Amino acid sequence: MSSGDDRGGGRGVGVKGVFIGAGCNRIVNNVSWGACDLVAFGAQNAVAIFNPKTAQIWTTLPGHKAAVNCTQWLPSNKFAFRAKHLDWHYLLSGDAAGAIILWECSVLEGKWRYVQQLPQLHKKGVTCITGIMVSQTEAVFASTSSDSTVYIWEVVFPSTSGGDCELLHLDSLSVGTKPMVALSLSELPGSTGHLVLAMGGLDNKIHLYSGERRGKFVRGCELKGHTDWIRSLDFALPTCTNGEASNVLLVSSSQDRGIRIWKMALKEPLDSNQSAYRKEKVSLASYIEGPVLIAGTTSYQISLESLLIGHEDWVYSVEWQPPSNASSEGIAYCQPQSILSASMDKTMMIWKPEKTSGIWMNVVTVGELSHCALGFYGGHWSPNGDSILAHGYGGSFHLWKNVGTDYENWQPQKVPSGHFAAITDIAWGRSGQYLLSVSHDQTTRIFAPWQNEASPRDKESWHEIARPQVHGHDINCVAIIQGKGNHRFVSGADEKVARVFEAPLSFLKTLGHAISQTSNFSDDSQVSVQILGANMSALGLSQKPIYVHAEQHTPDKNVNDGLDTFETIPDAVPVVLTEPPIEDQLAWHTLWPESHKLYGHGNELFALCSDHDGKFVASSCKAQSAAVAEIWLWQIGSWKAVGRLQSHTLTVTQMEFSHDDKFLLAVSRDRQFSVFSIDKAGTDEITYQLIAKQEAHKRIIWACSWNPYGYEFATGSRDKTVKIWTVENESSVKLLATLPLFSSSVMALSWVGVDCKSNEGLLAVGMENGLIELWNLSVKRSDDGVAGAVASLVVRLEPLMCHVSAVNRLAWRNCKNEDSGSLQLASCGVDQCVRVFEVNIN
């Protein structure tokens, strides 16, 4: 995707999105797999779309003001057999504030359009949306909310792209005081034109309502049997006998760990003779027959077809396998007798009736058996039924594909991955080989381009290749240590200690595989690294090293020791990855060992930065007094505290060293910036001095960035301004320019050099509304110093390319070849997304 809104003078710049990494919101009904073979899910306030074939997130859709709870494709995977020639597909998304938005997707062009937001009838969060196609251009859908109401709508889609969708509110339903959390719609068999709506929720019952296409829905009957909350319902398409639809099956799942299949059979009208015969006929079926559903003049006998027991925890979702359009009877579709269930017991199961007895059996079980997996919130079929997708407690996706020909053989596949909470900081690896991110989901992740031998250079795909830190506290900041030697980083979380991590041998070799096709990778540091990987401790704080030459022995254990408990944590098995890893490998086997702890701060860590020579790390913590707000300087190697820089009275929000490490710039919540001169007098000695301190903005200063070619720097604030400053004579600071007022608070800045001779650069500006702008900065120098700075807006990235919530950090990729005309910019934000953009300079 390319950006629009090219403005201003200076250089021509084109921007396109390269990569989006995001985790799934941890809630039931969040994911939907459409007939177009795309998967939609909520990532904080954004609706994210990913392609299962490439394991890449295509785009994120901005529009919601609250977290996205549920998504529903129209047509869904259930109607894929009817949707082969559709040019436009539609998507519904509901959020935690009660809003529902309708989107249009042009499959051929890959373009998205915000169609409209439905009139907001729900007063609380939307928990489930279900919909069916009643014709090629008409759909009926229902939504339910925590406010205990259910609304039913009809939508007529336009015959051409860009046309208006006709939306009609059909009915409002309320079932007592307990909310419904699961819905399913179906057309009733028999040419009645009636629909049936099944609802289940906190009262443990399934409520059936029926109604005409555009009429009111009337209460039909209740189905009792579950003993806990009902979490999922799904109607199969009506099954046919003798060429006519005669019955429909409904599957339900509950927190009672059970799955029930209900059969709704069309009852034939009885005349008096048949009625008399019926009274005399008593069979086993008559004892288990349930209630009768009456829809208009037609009635349906409901009975419990089967009870499926197999899961050991709450069953959050059940779904019928989508129909195929191959049918021996010449009917439009063939509904397979196959059900997918997903549970918090970390497994998904496929259930089918046995051919001889007809008893439903579990025929396939897949799952994540790692210690850290905490169950699945939902499971979905691909439109053609050869793949199944789960989303889990860790915001992760899990995909299996049936690769067998003569028999079923379900194998895990690559999927997109990312953080499931706000991302607080990012940093590029030393040579720009990978991108490191930290988040409030308590993990540190590494994303990198993985070059496939079969694909050309410009077709490299980005993937998460390691998860170096899985922590017990929210992580706030990170700094990659520069200089020679092994890859190292320092991270700071909601604790008073900073932690230093060092790359194990397994990661170095994996990195070699990832980039071996794109560069001549040779890392001498591998020779000296004796640590293969790391193990997690029981409390999830320190990560202990696994040594290369350690004895591989398995002590004798009792049978009970094999149980997956929190007291006994299994050992990690670090391996060299030759292809992008799946969630099970990432979560447990790619940890980095912790080498040092840095004690000294009195509060939770908030900001970190490293100098360019790899000599020092600066750290700051949350503060409300001058004594706590001091910046600590740590010497890399000895990890001694060699300086405590005092200037600010509140939290220092960001720090950065100048290009030659002579100055350290710090900005703070106290609206001031400070510039310290740093003099490395000897190997173990350091002298520092505060040379400038100034109240620069009217509100909190969130961001700062140095010019890579000089002593100019930028500051950005909540007062919606960005100011350009310069250090004069190494003793004072002067204001050079103030950029025009921005539309939102400025949260992130990153300055990259473009032309050293003319002292030109690009300044990336990230805002609280999620938008990103690129500005051209040209610093004019005269004989007696800096004369001024000229700034012009070069490009304003399209909202579809940007974040939907506040941008927390921007970082330009370290580029050795400055004449290539192509740069890469990384961003992260509160919307759980890591993004990489390619910036082409003309």
Q: Which residues pair with 503 in a beta bridge?
A: none
- The whole-number pLDDT of residue 281 equals 45
Does residue 597 surpass a pLDDT of 60?
A: yes
Residue 587: its H or E element: helix 583-589
Indicate whether 605 belongs to any domain.
no
Domain co-membership, 576 together with 510: yes
Among 455-469, 630-644, 755-769, the least confident range: 455-469
Residue in this structure with the two tokens 């392609």, named with its chain if needed: 51
The confidence band for 772, taking pLDDT boundaries of 50, 70 and 90, is very high
Specify the number of domains making up the chain.
Answer: 2
User: Does residue 280 sit in helix, strand or coil?
Assistant: helix
700 in any annotated domain: no
DSSP 3-state assignment of 506?
helix
Q: What is the pLDDT of residue 485?
A: 85
pLDDT in tens, 398-434: 999 999 888 889 999 999 999 999 999 999 998 889 9
Q: Are residues 515 and 580 in the same domain?
A: yes
For residue 227, CA distances in Å to 231, 256, 348, 606 come to 12, 6, 22, 48
- 457 and 357 assigned to the same domain: no
Tell me, yes or no, whether 580 and 434 share the same domain.
yes
Say if residue 491 is in the same domain as residue 424: yes
Query: Given phi > 0 = left and psi -120 to 50 = alpha, else beta, which region is 719?
Result: alpha
Query: Which positions ≥6 away from 784 have C-beta within 8 Å?
Result: none
Q: Tell me: the pLDDT tens digits for 680-723? A: 766 667 889 999 999 999 999 999 999 998 899 999 999 999 99
With bands split at pLDDT 50, 70 and 90, how would you rate the model's confidence at 805? very high
With residue 284 as reference, give the H or E element that holds it. Answer: helix 284-288
Report the alpha-carbon angle 289-291-293, nearest 5: 125
How far is the C-alpha of 784 from the C-alpha of 5, rounded, in Å? 38
Of 599, 617, 649, the last residue of a domain is: 599
Q: What is the pLDDT of residue 532?
A: 80
Q: Which domain range does residue 338 map to?
A: 321-396
Tell me, yes or no, whether 298 lies in a domain.
no
Amino acid letter, residue 385? G
Average pLDDT of the residues in 191-203: 88
Domain boundary at 344, 364, 396, which?
Answer: 396
Taking a C-beta distance cutoff of 8 angstroms, is the pair 636, 481 a contact? yes
Q: Which positions ≥6 away from 599 have C-beta within 8 Å? A: 496, 497
- What are the start-end ranges of the E strands in 669-743? 672-679, 687-695, 701-706, 712-717, 722-728, 732-738
DSSP 406: S
Nearest 5 degrees, angle CA 22-CA 28-CA 30? 45
Please indicate, yes or no, if residue 696 is contained in any of the structural domains.
Answer: no
Checking if the pLDDT of 538 tops 90, the result is no
CA contacts within 13 A on the Cβ side of 109:
9
Say yes or no: 425 and 466 in one domain.
yes
Q: Same domain, yes or no, for 379 and 349?
A: yes
- Asked if residue 444 and residue 344 are part of one domain, the reply reads no
Asked if residue 187 has pLDDT above 50, the reply is: yes
| Sequence-ordered list of residues with C-beta below 8 angstroms from that of 415, at least 6 positions apart, any chain | 50, 52, 55, 389, 396, 397, 398, 399, 582, 583
Q: How far apart are CA 70 and CA 184, in angstroms?
A: 14
Is there a single domain that holds both residue 423 and residue 456?
yes
Shared-domain flag, residues 468 and 585:
yes
- pTM of the entire predicted model: 0.91
- Give the DSSP per-residue string, 410-458: EEEE------SS-EEEEEE-TTSS-EEEEETTSEEEEEEEE--TTS-GG
CATH number at residue 595: 2.130.10.10
256 Rama class: left (phi>0) / alpha (psi -120 to 50) / beta:
alpha
SS (HEC) of 481-496? CCCCCCCEEEEEECCC
Tokens 């840095």 locate to: 598
Is residue 497 in a domain? yes
Across 101-105, 236-240, 517-521, 815-819, the highest mean pLDDT is recorded for 101-105
Q: What is the pLDDT of residue 214?
A: 82
pLDDT in the model for residue 673: 95
Calpha distance 29→93 (Å, rounded): 10
Note whether 330 and 438 are same-domain residues: no
The answer to whether residue 251 is domain-embedded is no
**Within a domain: 467:** yes
478 and 377 in one domain? Answer: no
In a domain, 46, yes or no: no
